[in-house]
Homo-oligomer: A and B are copies of this chain.
Amino acid sequence: MLGACDSEWTYYPLFTIDVHQRLGTMHPRPFSLGIDFGTASVRALIVDTATGEELATAVVDYPSGQQGVILDDADPNLARQHPGDYVESLHRCVNAAVRQAGAVAGFHPTQVVGIGVDTTGSTPIPVDRAGAPLALRPEFKNEPAAQAWLWKDHTSHAEAAEITAAVTAQGLPYLAKCGGVYSSEWYWSKILHCTRTSPHVAQAAHSWVELCDYIPALLTGNTDPVRLARSVCAAGHKAMYHPAWGGLPAAELLDSLSPGLSRLRYSTTPCAADQPAGTLQRASAERMGLPAGIPVAVGAFDAHMGAVGAGCSPGTLVKIMGTSTCDCIVADLKKPLEDIPGVCGIVPNSILPGMYGIEAGQSAVGDIFNWFVNRIAPSAYGAPAEMHARLTEAAARLRPGESGLVALDWHNGNRTVLVDPLLTGLIAGETLATTPAEIYRALIEATAFGARTIIERIESYGVALERVVSCGGIAEKNPLVMQIYADVSERPMYISRSGLTCALGAAMFGAVVGGAHASALDAQRAMTGVKPEVFRPNPVAVAVYRRLYAVYKQLHDAFGLRGAAADLHGAMKELIAIRQLTRGER
């Protein structure tokens, strides 16, 4: 196989450069550029590789669709993006950041030593023989199937079920690393759906390229789909690529799903993000206001680079907390690691080179709080914008256990550890005196219990998790949530120093391929940090939450596991006992 890089599963840095030598003494500060493609916009961040200081940042929204997403009124599962949006937004955004940095004393574009890229995913794009997205051609411009298939497009749910069934029926190992279920959000489901429903697009597609691979290809000009650098993060977590079964999934499986599908398997060995995809080509460089020739790193998914930017390292779990939660963990590649049942993905080098990247997550966290605030709770707490603050304030006055409530955080199914979309929310323990603040707190606690379940599962397979670093809006804005997570998980909760961890993580890999750091771990030590405020477990709360968690676990197993022993007779009485204990009732 050909490849722009050829990393094996154990990490070997390909080259290092003496940055100061390259830049000369006139320019003592090397900077790197991180480019973060989110769901609605792209962000560019210029950062000091020595300190992580964020020099300049710019955001550009995608112009098409609704907040950048092309929707279909007739099909709520459809979510696409126009590849042209990426190209335009990319150049404008980086240009704005470079111009902004230019106003800072001591910065010059020539000091940018490397570029890193992260994007949403799995967001595959059908491309032609030259690697150009089909949607850039006039005849496919308005064809939905020719656009980028955004991560949250669920049109392919039937094909996902079909793939899961086929892999399972044929006794193949390809789902062992992703909880046993292939998702409608992933590479092969989407391609198969396109083959079935838009054969003219499928036939015109010479290949499919993940967005996180398309951007480095675009920046470097190495767009040839046969040769371009592919991300091991996308390959391993979404495309059934894994060294455990020799890399690619079997052609027979794919061709049994659709004849010829196997031709869309990767033709290069996927790489970790500390490898260069190439160097910045002149056309892009000019539009962005940078010199050509800057090394560009192989891309990766936003959550994973965000985890690196937040300090994900052995023993440190990074939680990216938003509407849902993505949990990233790394474990030394040199130590054996069993498959962890119910964990979304275990892929060598996918987060940090030289380590297993382990991804877990909760399918709804902030979404549950928003559901309660926007749909259910009374406006006595004010307009929705104020309600989170006021409900949080009221919930913070409650002591753990005093409401007598316990909830299950499955309003959007359960991603880890049950891997079951056919699960729903539950709240137990209501009385006629139950208040919205009590329910709000119970929902927060439920997500914390869900987080603890993930931590316990991963630790039970020998991966120690001593501390948690969180990033994302909830972590930054809601100290109550952080304290509850500390009390429930019995671990200190830190918050990432940077609020732009994805772009920062990308910039760190830019710094590595640019030679400012020898490794991603070195870059992490220099460029990341946590905020001074740490949330530490409160022993009184810990004691109550251990009892409440036992009830949560009882419900979790009863509703979530087939054949669990589940006499729930004591559950409500235990909640009342905890409530009475907390309130000092007779």
Are B424 and A576 in contact, CB atoms less than 8 angstroms apart? yes
- Measured CB to CB, the closest approach of chain B to A98, in angstroms, equals 40
CB neighbours (8 Å) of A563 from chain B are 567, 569
* Closest B residue to A571 using CB positions: B559
Contact of A424 among B430, B560, B566, B567 (CB under 8 A): B430
> Which of A2-10, A122-130, A253-261, A373-381 contacts its partner?
A373-381
Tell me if A566 and B575 are in contact (CB < 8 A): no
Residues on B with C-beta less than 8 A from A411 are 430-432, 434
Nearest B residue to A158 via CB reads: B586
A367 within 8 A of B: yes
How many copies altogether?
A: 2
Bound state CA distance, A269 and B566, in angstroms?
A: 50
A422 at the interface (CB under 8 A from B): yes
Q: How far is the CA of A430 from the CA of B586 in the complex (A)?
A: 34
Q: Does A427 contact B (CB under 8 A)?
A: yes
Q: Is A168 an interface residue (CB 8 A)?
A: no
Give chain B nearest CB distance to A365 CB in angstroms: 11
A376 surroundings in chain B (CB, below 8 A): 376-378, 434, 436, 439
Closest partner residue, chain B, to A559 (CB atom): B568
Q: Which of B378, B428, B439 contacts A379 (CB 8 A)?
A: B378
Whole-angstrom CA separation of A411 from B428 in the bound complex: 10
Nearest chain B CB to A226's CB is how many angstroms away?
38
Q: What residues of B have a CB within 8 angstroms of the CB of A426 in the complex? A: 426-430, 572
CB distance from A57 to the nearest CB of B (A): 31
Which A residues from 420 to 468 make CB contacts under 8 A with B?
A: 422-432, 434-436, 439
Task: Write out the residue numbers on chain B whose beta carbons fall within 8 Å of the beta carbon of A573.
Answer: 422
Chain B residues lying within 8 Å of A404, measured Cβ to Cβ, are 424
Task: Determine whether the beta carbon of B569 is less than 8 Å from that of A435.
Answer: no
Hey, which chain B residues are within 8 Å of A364, CB to CB? Answer: 432
Which residues of the partner chain B approach A158 to less than 8 Å between Cβ atoms? Answer: 586
A372–B571 alpha-carbon span in the complex (Å): 23
By a CB distance below 8 angstroms, the chain B residues around A435 are 375
Q: A368-407, CB under 8 A of B: which get 1 and which 0? A: 1001000111111000000000000000000000001000
Q: Which residue of B lies closest to A410 (CB)?
A: B572
Which B residues lie within 8 Å of A167 (CB)? none
* A424 to B580 CA separation, bound complex (whole angstroms): 14
CA distance A576 to B368 in the complex (A): 18
Contacts of A561 in B (CB 8 A): 569
Q: Chain B contacts of A571 at CB under 8 A? A: 559
Instruction: Verify if A564 is at the interface (C-beta below 8 Å from B).
Output: yes
A558 within 8 A of B: yes
A100 at the interface (CB under 8 A from B): no
When distances are taken between beta carbons in the complex, the residues of chain B under 8 Å from A334 are: none
How many angstroms from the CA of A379 to the CA of B371 in the assembled complex? 15
Let me know if A412 is at the binding interface, CB within 8 A: yes
Instruction: Identify the closest chain B residue to A577 (Cβ).
Output: B422
CA distance A379 to B424 in the complex (A): 26
Which residues of B are found within 8 Å of A430, using beta-carbon distances?
371, 411, 424-427
Residue picked from A158, A379, A430, most chain B C-beta under 10 Å: A430
- A335 contacts partner chain B, Cβ-Cβ < 8 Å: no
Whether A562 sits at the interface, judged by CB under 8 Å, is: yes
For the complex, give the distance between the alpha carbons of A404 and B423 in Å.
Answer: 11
Cross-chain contact B436 with A429 (CB below 8 angstroms): no
The reply to whether A432 and B569 form a contact with Cβ atoms under 8 Å apart is no
* B558/A572 in contact, CB under 8 A: no
CB-based contact B569/A558 at 8 Å: yes
Q: What residue in chain B is nearest A421 (Cβ atoms)?
A: B576
Q: How far is the CA of A404 from the CA of B410 in the complex (A)?
A: 13
In the complex, which residues 530-583 of chain A have their Cβ closer than 8 Å to any Cβ of chain B?
558-569, 571-573, 575-576
- What is the chain B residue whose CB lies nearest that of A407? B430
User: For A575, what are the chain B residues with a Cβ–Cβ distance below 8 Å?
Assistant: 424
Question: 10 A-B residue contacts at CB 8 Å?
Answer: A364-B432, A422-B576, A423-B572, A425-B434, A426-B427, A427-B430, A558-B568, A558-B569, A563-B569, A566-B566
Report the 8 A-B pairs with minimum CB-CB distance, sorted nearest first. A425-B430, A426-B428, A558-B568, A562-B569, A424-B429, A566-B566, A371-B432, A424-B572
- A positions within 8 Å CB-CB of B: 158, 364, 367-368, 371, 375-380, 404, 410-412, 422-432, 434-436, 439, 558-569, 571-573, 575-576, 586
- Known contacts A424-B576, A426-B429, A558-B566, then 12 further A-B pairs from the complex at CB < 8 Å, ordered by chain A residue: A375-B435, A375-B436, A376-B378, A379-B379, A411-B431, A412-B431, A412-B432, A424-B430, A424-B572, A426-B428, A558-B569, A566-B566
